Structure 1
Amino acid sequence: MALQRCLAAFISLVFLILPLQAADTIVPARAPDLPLPRAKPEDVGFSSERLARIGAILLQDIEHGQIPGAVLAIARHGKLVFLHAYGWRDKATHSPMTTDTLFNIASMTKPMTTVGALMLYERGLLLMNDPLTKYFPQFSDQRVAARDDKDNITTNSVPVTNKIVIQDLLRHTSGIVYGNRGTSPVHKMYPESSVTAASEMTGKAFLDKLAALPLLHQPGAVWDYGFGLDIVGLLIESVSQQSLGSYLEANLFAPLGMHDTGFFIKPEKANRYAKPLPIDPVSRQKQTLLPNLTEKLLFDCGGDCAYSTATDYLRFALMLLKGGDSGKAHILGRKTADYMLANQLGPQVVNLIGQADPTRANYGFGLGLAVRTTPGIAPMLGSIGSFGWPGSSGTDWWVDPKEDLVVVYLSAAPGAIRWHYRQKINALVYQALDQ
């Protein structure tokens, strides 16, 4: 048995560290891209043998056409224990994946926009209970969709009982929902997604459209996924008198050393841009779910429209783990970071998080991200206090403060397959912990 275990470990390590033919390529990151010093897995409580399972499994899935490729970064106890790229950056052109590949990070944009807003909060430029109408008066006449006697949503409306406040936008309790989250008459009035809105409308036209529509829920009553962080992004622009991208570049990205994060991929970086498989592996339909960020959208949508790399986003996640201070840059005050990462949903709020992301079912929600409130019930491994929020593009990340653990997983794999990989990567990372 001992011989079999050694042989299995050797085979897994071969898959992990050697370039293979066809789709299986592993390319190291350039030294300047590393946000932390490297460490051997055993030095920070991981098993090298168990970590090797990750490469073997991902390479097998790439070979079988489940995903084009992926980059995975794992940090623990202030050390970079794992950073590998697998498969193809662009399978159609046989471009190998590298650890500095740029990915659409989709809703992983939301926590960054949240931090941008909290920086204004710390400067006294906005407050959590400020009404939305203080910044955008066009929302002053909003109403809420009425229900019939069977609780079906109708086209009739009733007055709002509470005003939308900034906290509602940051925690998805505003009643302003994504159109693609349902089939009711109200859902059909809304733009499908953040990217759809930013592709078709200017920021002002987007706000005017939302202001003219009925809310799906009374403000503060229901967690339901929607445009809150896109509105916050435009609020940041109004207060700062900068585009959201420029504001975040000056106040967040540059201070943290996130030099490969933004809202528009310039031509000189376009060759590092990850592409999805042309055919969705589950639906078998043509892949049309990702925007092309080498073309400028009409506004920088704070809910969905950024790109980044694994090491860049690792820097962001580490800053939150450290209470808002990266060691090189003080981004948020410690208590502000604590507030962002605390559950913001009281018992009176109906929690529909599991409908938006089944892998975060039974989580709470902080500001801009999900927060784990129980060791069980949820469908994935983790500790109370873990936080993160994934992207519909196939990306995911989480921080487990109890384990002093940060994980960033990036893949250009939108569609239903993303649910599978959120759970698979979660299990593969935690099973490799030895202590």
Structure 2
Amino acid sequence: MRQFTDRFGITKPPERSGFSAERLGRITEFFDRQTELGVVPGWSALVARNGEPVYAAGGGLRDLELGLPVEPGTLWRLYSMTKPVTSVAVMMLVERGLLGLDDPVGAYLPEFTDMTVYDGGSPGSLRVRPAARPVTVGHLLTHTAGLTLGLAHMDPVDALYRQAGQDVLPLPGTTLERMCADVGGLPLLFEPGTAWNYSLGVDVLGRIIEVCSGETLDRFIEANVLGPLRMTDTTFSLAPERVPDLAEIYSPDPESGRLVVNEELRSTFRRPAEFPSGSGVPGLVSTLADYHRFAAMLVRGGELDGERLLGPRTLAFMTANHLPGGADLNSFARYPDDEHRGCGFGLGFYVVTDPVRAGSFGNKGEFGWSGAANTHFFVDPVDGVTAVFCTQVVTWGRHRPPVRRQLRNLVYQAMTT
């Protein structure tokens, strides 16, 4: 673990920052055990207070077949942990007066004007009705727009997304402009603002960023987020010389539960980009160090090392619960997820509203998000704590690695002040 502590410049005892070194060691013990059990191939984690790392470690392998270890410079596919980065970029445009949360999406993307809503039937004979209200930028940020995902396999509208090429990975050559043209012509799953459903909403916001800024999404995020935060290893398009640092991507075999390479996803980032610059798909790759800098900016109220991305009031607004009436995410979600009980949803993040119901040792107001490969991060603005966890296992249901709630409580149990 010395290479991790050296990489992050951790020289003083964690006790000076209100943590027990012995108890922080339980994080290592827990995830090493998950590696030994074959639940995850390898992992890395970082805990910080007020932006200063107090714990950094990793274990296992980034490539099981080649026997390559997890290292501080290992690259990880972030998948949906890209969404908070995009959400910050959106709010930077809001702060500049170039975009409004109540703005109809159709004002920027005409294909989202005069939307229809699913009213029953099968994919081959869908019934629709006119939407009673327009989809807004705020709806997209909170996943209450009525959009969905092709990979969901839960509703007839999901099937229409797959037919349009919006599946686990879009068709090669897909751009955000093309994706929005396809999705904007499909019915909404429900009336905007009446339910929560995880969706392509933030991808649509990526296209709105392009329209408002006149730049491709990758260039805007590089210039306005990654560059100022010095996240030099974070990118939408991986350079060929960095491919050896990329962790392999795994899923459990449906029958045995043994980790096997996910062949559908492994090629992404390992060969010349299948998705044009600015597509935003399949998201960013990053290192533990880089995403820590993003989390550190958030816990410091929008600023890091003299670079301010957002005003502190903007960030406080983003991390409030924006669900109607302060609703609990699980009660408002179309398909509840036990991982998010006791939480609401802000502008790009889950937000803990009831720590007891959430099963958390932490504070009301904690926020964060996860990625499909079971990466996860959280920010606790009350105690100034951040944590970032990285692995590469894409799975759902009973084979899901015990990461989110366990990481949270492993961090909090180590705190002494």
TM-score by length of 2: 0.89
1:22-421 matches, cutoff 5 A:
27-28=3-4, 31=7, 34=8, 38-147=11-120, 155-191=126-162, 196-197=169-170, 199=172, 201-277=174-250, 279-280=252-253, 283-284=257-258, 287-288=262-263, 290=265, 292-294=268-270, 295-299=272-276, 300-302=278-280, 305-347=283-325, 351=329, 352-353=332-333, 355=335, 357-416=337-396, 417-421=399-403
Determine if contact 2:50/2:299 at 8 Å carries over to the other structure: no
Deviations 1:104-139 (CA, angstroms, capped at 9, x unpaired): 011110010011111111111111111111111112
Tell me, in whole angstroms, the C-alpha distance in 1 between the residues paired with 2:51 and 2:102: 36
Task: Say if 1:128 and 1:93 are closer, same or farther in 2 by CA, change over 3 A.
Answer: same
**SS of aligned partner of 2:378:** strand
Q: Which amino acid aligns with 2:220?
A: Y
Structure 1 counterpart of 2:395, one-letter code: G
Cα pair distance change 1:382/1:200, threshold 3 Å: farther
Distance 2:323 2:413 in 1: 31
Task: Quote the sequence identity (%).
Answer: 33
Shift of the alpha carbon at 1:195?
5.3
Contact 2:195–2:333 (Cα < 8 Å) also in 1? no
Return the offset for 1:356. 6.4
Question: How big is the shift at 1:420?
Answer: 1.7
2:367 counterpart letter in structure 1: F
Alpha-carbon distance in 1 for matches of 2:152, 2:110? 27
* Contact residue 222 and residue 349 of structure 1 kept, 8 A: no
- What stretches of structure 1 of length at least 5 have no aligned partner? 1-16, 18-25, 149-153
What is the CA-CA distance between 1:228 and the residue it aligns to? 0.5
Deviations 1:258-307 (A, max 9, x none): 00111111112111111134754874576246452234242545575111
> What do you get for the CA RMSD once the two structures are aligned?
2.6
Distance 1:77 1:206, change over 3 A: closer
- Partner of 1:5 in structure 2? none
Local SS of the residue matching 1:234: helix
Whole-Å separation in 2 of the counterparts to 1:289 and 1:41 = 42
> In 2 relative to 1, CA 386–133 (structure 1 residues): closer, same or farther, beyond 3 Å?
same
SS at match of 1:108: helix
Give the 3-state SS of the residue equivalent to 1:377 in structure 2. helix
Asked whether the 8 Å contact 2:321–2:344 carries over to 1, the reply is: yes
Contact 1:110–1:368 (CA under 8 A) maintained in structure 2: yes
Query: Aligned in 2, Cα 1:163/1:193: closer, same or farther, shift over 3 Å?
Result: same
Relative to 1, partners in 2 of residues 1:203 and 1:79: Cα closer, same or farther, differing over 3 Å?
Answer: closer
Secondary structure of the residue that 2:61 maps to in structure 1? strand
More displaced 10-residue stretch of structure 1: 177-186 or 130-139: 177-186
Distance 1:357 1:254, change over 3 A: farther
- Kept in 1, the 8 Å contact 2:93–2:99? The answer is yes
Between structure 1 and structure 2, the one with the greater Rg is 1
Distance 1:266 1:30 in 2: 26
1:428 counterpart letter in structure 2: L
Give the C-alpha shift of residue 185 in structure 1. Answer: 1.5
Cα distance in 1 for partners of 2:171, 2:138 equals 23
Change (3 A) 1:289 1:370: farther
**CA–CA distance in 1 between the matches of 2:361 and 2:171?**
35
Matched residues, number: 405
